[in-house]
Amino acid sequence: MLLDALLLQLGYNATLVAIGAALLGTAAGITGTFLFLRKRALVSDAVSHATLPGVCIAFLLMAAFGADGRNLAGLLLGSAVSAGIGLWCMNWLTRNTRLAEDAAIGAVLSVFFGFGIVLLTVIQILGVGRQAGLEGFLLGSTAGMLYSDALVIAGGGALSLLMILLTRRPMTLVAFDPEYAAARGLPVERIDMLMMGLVMAVTVVGLKIVGLILIVALLIIPAVTARFWTERSDHVVLLAGLFGGLASYVGAALSASAPNLPTGPIIVLVSFGFFALSLFLAPNRGVLAAVMRHMRFQRRVHLRQGLLALAQGQAIYESLTLRLLRRAGLVRADGVATERGKARASKALRDERRWEIVRGDMAHEAAAALYDGLRDIETVLTQDQIVEIDRRIGGPREVLS
Amino acid sequence: MMNGEEFVPLSLTPMLIGIFAAIACALPGNFLLLRRQALIGDAISHVVLPGIVVAFLISGAITAWPMMLGAAGAAVVAVMLIEAIRRLGKIEPGAAMGVVFTTMFAGGVLLLEQTDTSTVHLDVEHALYGNLESLIWLDAVGWSSLLDPEALRHLPVELPRMALTLVGVCLFIALFWRALKISTFDEGFARTMGIRTNALGLGLVITAAVAAVAAFDAVGSIIVIAMFICPPAAARMMTNRLEGQIAWSVGFAMVSAVLGYVLAGYGPLWMGGSDAVSAAGMIATVSGVILAISAKFGPCRSRAGAPAGI
Closest CA to A16 of A145, A140, A136: A145
For residue B56, pLDDT over 70 is answered with yes
Amino acid, single-letter form, for residue A351: D
Is residue A315 a part of any domain in this protein? yes
Domain boundaries of chain B, sorted by first residue: 4-137+155-297
A294 plus A192 within the same structural domain: no
Domain boundary among A219, A240, A255: A219
Please name the fold of domain B4-137+155-297: ABC transporter involved in vitamin B12 uptake, BtuC (1.10.3470)
The residue among B109, B263, B303 with the most chain A CBs within 10 A of its CB, best to mutate, is: B109
Distance in angstroms (rounded) separating the CA atoms of residues B83 and B103: 15
Write the burial class of residue B188 (CB in 10 Å: 0-12 exposed, 13-18 middle, 19+ buried).
Answer: exposed
Domain tally, chain A: 2
Alpha-carbon radius of gyration of chain A: 31
A43 lies in the same domain as A176: yes
Contact across the interface for A111 and B280, Cβ inside 8 Å: no
To the nearest whole Å, the CA of B154 is away from the closest chain A CA by 29
| Range of lowest pLDDT (B36-50, B137-151, B239-253) | B137-151
Contact call for A111 and B284, based on CB within 8 A: yes
Nearest to A48 by CA among B135, B194, B276, B102: B102
Of A309, A294, A300, A295, the closest CA to residue A374 belongs to: A300
Q: Which residue in chain B has the smallest CA separation from A291?
A: B88
Residues A55, A203: one domain?
yes
Q: What is the pLDDT of residue A254?
A: 87
Decide: pTM greater than 0.80: yes
Query: Does the pLDDT at position B308 exceed 50?
Result: no
B102 phi, psi to nearest 5 deg: -65, -40
CA distance B11 to B15: 6
In A, minimum Cα distance to B301 occurs at A97
Nearest CA in chain B to A282: B89
Low-confidence ranges of chain A (pLDDT < 70): 1-6, 8-10, 69, 127-133, 142-145, 395-401
pLDDT at A129: 55
Selection from A260, A286, A99 nearest residue B233 by Cα? A99
Residue of A nearest to B129 (CA): A117
* Boundaries of domain holding A372: 288-393
Last residue of a domain, one of A169, A192, A219: A219
Q: Indicate the residue of A107, A116, A279 with minimum beta-carbon distance to B89.
A: A279
CA–CA separation, A271 and A247 (whole Å): 5
Q: What is the pLDDT of residue B273?
A: 66
Bridge partners, residue A331, by sequence: A337
Whether residues B39 and A106 touch (CB distance < 8 A) is answered with yes
Question: Which residues of chain B make contact with A99, given a CB cutoff of 8 A?
Answer: 233, 236, 295
Q: Output the pLDDT for position B192.
A: 93
- Are A185 and A326 in the same domain? no
Residue B178 has pLDDT above 50, yes or no: yes
Give ipTM to 2 decimals.
Answer: 0.89
Tens-digit pLDDT profile for residues B108-139:
888 888 876 655 666 666 667 777 777 777 77
In this structure, is residue A54 part of a structural domain? yes
pLDDT of residue B306: 46
CB A205 within 8 A of CB A24: yes
Residue B85 pLDDT > 50: yes
Q: Is the residue at A399 inside a domain? A: no
- Distance between A343 CA and the closest CA of chain B, angstroms: 41
Q: Is residue A264 part of a domain?
A: no
Q: Residue A214 maps to which CATH number?
A: 1.10.3470.10
Interface test with B, best of A98, A128, A215, A260 (most B CBs within 10 A): A98
Rounded-to-integer distance, Cα A118 and Cα A161, Å:
34
Per CB-CB distance under 8 Å, the chain B contacts of A227 are 91
- pLDDT at position B1 over 50: no
What sign does the dihedral B250-A87-A221-A248 (CA atoms) show?
Answer: positive
Q: Do A121 and B277 touch (CB under 8 A)?
A: yes
pLDDT score of B118: 58
pLDDT in tens, A109-160: 999 999 998 888 888 877 655 555 677 777 777 666 677 777 777 788 788 8
* Residue A331 near residue A322, CB atoms below 8 Å: yes
Contact between B288 and A213 using a beta-carbon 8 Å cutoff: no
Residue B255, beta-bridge partner list: none
Please provide the distance, in angstroms rounded to a whole number, between the alpha carbons at the two ends of chain A. 73
Same domain, yes or no: A29 and A132: yes
List CB contacts of B200: < 8 A, sequence separation 6 or more: B176, B179, B180, B183
Decide if A106 and B36 are in contact by the 8 Å CB cutoff: no
Q: Taking the alpha carbons of B63, A140, A26, B44 in that order, is the dihedral positive or negative? A: negative
Q: Is residue A234 part of a domain?
A: no
Of the partner residues A39, A45, A111, the one whose CB lies closest to the CB of residue B226: A111
Contacts of A139 in chain B (CB under 8 A): 109, 124
Distance CA A25, CA A16 (A): 14
Q: Across the interface, do B99 and A217 touch by the CB < 8 Å criterion?
A: yes
A7 and A146 in a single domain? The answer is yes
* Whether the Cβ atoms of residue A31 and residue A160 lie closer than 8 Å to each other: yes
Q: Do B94 and A39 touch (CB under 8 A)?
A: yes
Same domain for A215 and A327, yes or no, is: no
Residue B310: pLDDT band (50, 70, 90) is: very low
Residue B228 contacts residue B28 (beta carbons within 8 Å): yes
Q: Are A206 and A294 within one domain?
A: no
Nearest Cβ partner for A220 among B37, B99, B285: B99
How many inter-chain contacts (A to B, CB under 8 Å) are there? 197
Task: Using only the alpha carbons of chain B, give its radius of gyration.
Answer: 20
Of A138, A216, A228, the CB nearest to B89: A228
Boundary residue ending a domain (A192, A219, A246): A219
Question: Which residue in chain A has the smallest CA separation from B282?
Answer: A118
